[in-house]
Amino acid sequence: MKKEIVADVGKDEVMVGILEDGKLVEFFVERKISGSIAGNVYKGKVANVLPGMQAAFVDIGLEKNAFLYVGDVNLESLGNLNERSEWNVEKPSIQDMLKPGQEILVQVVKEPIGSKGARVSTNITLAGRYLVLMPRLDYVGISRRIEKEEERARLKALAEELRPCRMGVIVRTAAENRGEDEIKAEMDYLKNLWEEIKKKGQTSWAPKLIYKDMDLIERIVRDVFTPEVTCFYINTKEAFERVVEIVSVIAPGLQERVSLYNGEESIFQYFDITSEIEKALRRKVWLKSGGYIVIDRTEALTAIDVNTGKFTGDKDLEDTVLKTNLEAAKEIARQIRLRDIGGIIIIDFIDMNSQEHRKMVIDALEMELKKDRTRTHIFGITTLGLVEMTRKKVRQSLDEVLERVCPYCDGKGKIGILK
């Protein structure tokens, strides 16, 4: 599979597209005015505690207070050691752990979406290229994308040896086949970064930004620019030199794969990304066979419907349905990644009587979703023939970033015919 990264660096915003075999599969936008706050660490002040919701709202200096659920509160991060004997240890209550006016260190795990404020957690995670350090958790995990058992065992033993006492570590996919010196150097960097965050948190007044995560270009280099990427195209000399500098430090072997684009037309037009983005904002997506899928988003979930459309097949009905569903499964996985759809997803494939055909479609969907860096989970087919799945939501979806609800029709988008 040919994988490419295309970055359009403008004056006011940065856009990045990820291509697999020439097709756009992921798209990111970061505006320089607002920027992304996911991953940022804040010194926050508890505004109010809601026992009925087992949650609290935390003032972190943004327009809306952040939401902190009881399950995201790490007991070790709280200083009320003498009071813990009075708590229900198995299931402590939010009002026991937090009080209005209390200052706590939190990290944004989900950006503000619509009318909702950011979601935060006291379980801080600091990501590097090879490792993710979890200072407040005692756990070692290995990326599921590393499949060789010998390599998984080697990396786990190395992580156990290098990690600080009572701190957690997740070994990322990029660590596969990397040497001990490289991994140790990053571990030392992340440990020092955590010490700086703690020190700044102790000496700052709330609300205050304590640590800002990398910008979009830096995150793409850290998280996406791996040896399987054949080329990283950038359209400005300044950004090109900056990426080369970053890559020379964290992945010297990939420097030659960074390329400065000097074409006459815009970089997104040249790689046909602009037209793909326009298609990704439409409700209906046509398949090559003539079938199509329809994607409808609600506040609670996303519903995806599969139809044969113009495709009549050339054998029999079951074969036509199977071919349409298999093609749709691959396109649905791509659209989910491209549109960055999160939360609950319901897929209504065309009805199949054969259990073998159902399994083939589910297997095809799972295979395509393995390429997705965001965590997904498929629950199988229900008695009504619907596929239920979930996908972690961290940032706004594509339409939320690029579109705004019409103030006149409130998003209904219909033309009245009654007089």
pLDDT tens digit sequence for 251-282: 888 889 999 999 888 999 999 999 999 988 89
Prior bond to 92 cis, omega within 30? no
pLDDT of residue 102: 92
Q: What percent of the chain has pLDDT above 90?
A: 46
Partners of 13 in the β-ladder: 31
Dihedral of CA 306/308/310/313: which sign? positive
Q: Which of 129-133, 174-178, 246-250: highest mean pLDDT?
A: 129-133
pLDDT digits (tens, 9 = 90+) for 163-173: 988 899 999 98
Does pLDDT of 80 surpass 60? Answer: no
pLDDT digits (tens, 9 = 90+) for 315-362: 778 888 889 999 999 999 999 999 999 889 999 998 888 889 889 999
| Contact (Cβ atoms closer than 8 angstroms) between residue 336 and residue 370 | no
pLDDT of residue 88: 53
pLDDT of residue 170: 93
pTM of the complete model: 0.83
Does pLDDT of 405 surpass 80? Answer: no
In CATH, which of 3.30.420, 1.10.3470, 1.10.1760, 3.90.320 is domain 3-35+221-271? 3.30.420
Among 329, 325, 296, 333, smallest CA distance to 309 is for 325
Does pLDDT of 392 surpass 60? Answer: yes
Question: Which are the contacts of 31, defined by CB distance < 8 A and separation ≥ 6?
Answer: 12, 13
Under the banding of pLDDT at 50, 70 and 90, the label for residue 10 is: confident
pLDDT of residue 79: 60
Distance from the first to the final alpha carbon of the chain = 56
Name residue 176's amino acid: E
Q: How far apart are CA 26 and CA 28, in angstroms?
A: 7
Does pLDDT of 87 surpass 70? Answer: no
Residue 193: both structure tokens together: 């970064």
pLDDT of residue 82: 44
Does pLDDT of 235 surpass 50? Answer: yes
Start and end residues for every CATH 3.30.420 domain found in the chain: 3-35+221-271
Does pLDDT of 97 surpass 80? Answer: yes
Average pLDDT value over all residues in the chain: 87
